Copies of this chain bind each other. A is one copy, B any other.
Amino acid sequence: MRTFADPIRRGVTVAPTSPAVIDTTSGQAVSFSELDRRCRALAGTLARLGLSRGDRVALLMANGLPYVEAYVAVPAAGFVIVPINTRLADPEIAYILGDAGVSALITDRPPSGVEDLVDHVIRVPDDYEALIATSDPIDDLADLHEVSEDDLAGLFYTGGTTGPSKGVMLTHRNLLANMWNTINCCEMRADDRYLVMSPMFHAAGTYAVLASLALGATQVTVPAFDPDRVLDAIEAERITTTLAVPTMMVALCESQSRQPRDSSSLRLLTHGASPVAVETVRRFHDLFPGTAMIHLYGATELSPLTTALANEQDELGGPRERSCGQAVLGCRVTIIDSDGNHLPVGESGEVAVRGDNVMAGYWNKPDETAAVLRDGWYRTGDVGWIDDEGFLFLVDRAKDMIVSGGENVYSTEVEQALMTHPGVLECAVYGIPDEKWGEAVAATVVPREGESPTVDDLTEHCRQLIAGFKVPRRIDITTDLLPKSAAGKILKRELREPFWVGHEARVSGA
């Protein structure tokens, strides 16, 4: 398999009448034959709009059948998907549309100014369903353009450490490598029923789409995470596997202990994208004893799966309970020092990854690409060590990143928003422990002389510029200058540490 056209082609061959996607929002349930026809109709529509090979198509909508279709058909037909985080503020969305040079937007939102930036808007569900119904499907998704494995399949935007967000360029090869890794590490089978409950605009939300299609397995979508709705769906749809972020696991435990559902079909829960407390794993295992658990570590730049701790529940209480597991089959993980030398077993350094899952680079950002892709290795920015059987243990994120409820927040981006407020002299943004979200965004702000911005002023200012989940939950205003290193670098650790006394968190991300 070399392109996105291959997995769906196999699904429709081996399981034409099986349910491919069940959309619990619209109530639509489509077979593989029907999904294939709809994908071919969508590709035909995009071609008729005048899109050329490599043109970008942005997706700004909730999980559902159209998301699965666009995710598959757009790259399969030779175009490039640009999934956009629905929680972003309008200026952030506009930035992405412009940076990616998006030609067409598929969205479930009402008209807004942001759309002026693109030539074509297809609105879900009405426009979209009309086009699918009336468009002549092309004969085969691969017919429109010659697509090769090293062609771009999508631009996946992540927060920027040193400025606005960056478009992670993932090729067909990258995402098909992830498909094989997913099938292998999750032991996925044709009779699986995968619940898509994480947002599909994240790499983690779509990590099992190609795998499910290739196997002829069923995907069930919920528009957004709601623990009661999810548990009802697991029971009603006999879900066999899904991926959660730790905050979802906590919420599922709450809901299940309040109102137990039959979760006996759920053979596997994978989780990642965020630090998880061992206590959360233990509680989930207590409440869902028949469900195996896999802790995943990854990154958008890695398509995303990188390591997996299989049967995590069996590691509880053992020396590996806080490990992220071993490299998935198709990639290599190593630890390097600051000069790029590979370090031996047990020594801490930067986690670096090599394999067909490693991104092609950042869109139009050669310098930032060169900074992370060196000597064939992707440097994650995370700090960790590896034991004598390849189990990875993360100890810190070198990139100044906060993971809150599965969303990556780069502190620099929040700092830049705060710094545009006229009353701010200097500031530092960092993560503090949060029972619900794992980490919460916190800021310490030093006002300019003669200025006295309030917490509300600063919060409202940020809200105009950045997504709500990035806006600091806690702002401390102080007239003392921030602690700095000899080189003048703000010593955030000194600000952050008091909050973390008595807390611990397993570090991971996907």
Contacts and interface: CB of A to CB of B under 8 A. Distances in A.
Interface of A: 1-2, 6, 9-10, 13-16, 180, 183-184, 187, 214-215, 326-327, 329-330, 332, 355-356, 388-390
Contacts of A10: 327, 329, 332
A321 to B, nearest CB: 18
28 contacts: A1-B329, A1-B330, A1-B355, A1-B356, A2-B356, A6-B332, A9-B332, A10-B327, A10-B329, A13-B326, A13-B327, A13-B332, A13-B389, A13-B390, A14-B326, A14-B327, A14-B389, A14-B390, A15-B389, A16-B388, A16-B389, A180-B180, A180-B184, A183-B184, A183-B329, A187-B187, A214-B329, A215-B329
Contacts of A389: 13-16
Nearest to A389: B14
A4 to B, nearest CB: 15
Q: Which 3 A-B pairs have the closest CB atoms?
A: A13-B390, A14-B390, A14-B326
A88 B304 CA distance: 49
Contacts of A184: 180, 183-184
A356 B332 CA distance: 22
A373 B28 CA distance: 42
Given A14-B326, A14-B327, A14-B390, 18 more contacts: A1-B330, A1-B355, A6-B332, A9-B332, A10-B327, A10-B332, A13-B332, A13-B390, A14-B389, A15-B389, A16-B388, A16-B389, A180-B184, A183-B184, A183-B329, A184-B184, A214-B329, A215-B329
Contacts of A13: 326-327, 332, 389-390
Tell me which of A10, A15, A215 has the highest count of chain B C-beta atoms within 10 A of its own C-beta.
A10
A187 B330 CA distance: 16
- Most-contacted residue by chain B among A10, A14, A329, A330 (CB, 10 A): A329
Nearest to A211: B329
A326 B11 CA distance: 11
Contacts of A183: 184, 329
A271 to B, nearest CB: 21
